[in-house]
Structure 1
């Protein structure tokens, strides 16, 4: 079992919105890439907890989401 990845919440300007998101509401996520991990949060409520993935976990997630 790997140890937990502990990451401080990056500055607000470190987050970027998914390229598939629009400004018309709906379900959107924001992502922040840090040295330790990739963080994912709800763009509509940034005060909610974020999901933390290792860089390898992020690569697997993106590959799965793309259907490859």
Structure 2
């Protein structure tokens, strides 16, 4: 009886690996989105920034951040 394996449910390690992979992919997607929005922020002129209520100093502070934060 010890020779049989339950093939219906994946082992716990596989589930943990999939959860970690999902977390990494989610974090990576978030980093890409932050990089994209900061790139767009860098392309805005003063009028567009004032419409959004963002000062020039706020813009520079945001653009100085690394993509992972």
* Normalised TM-score (structure 1): 0.26
Q: Which of the pair has the greater relative contact order for Cα pairs under 8 Å at 6+ separation?
A: 2
Name the structure where strand makes up a greater proportion of residues: 1
* Normalised TM-score (structure 2): 0.26
Name the structure where helix makes up a greater proportion of residues: 2
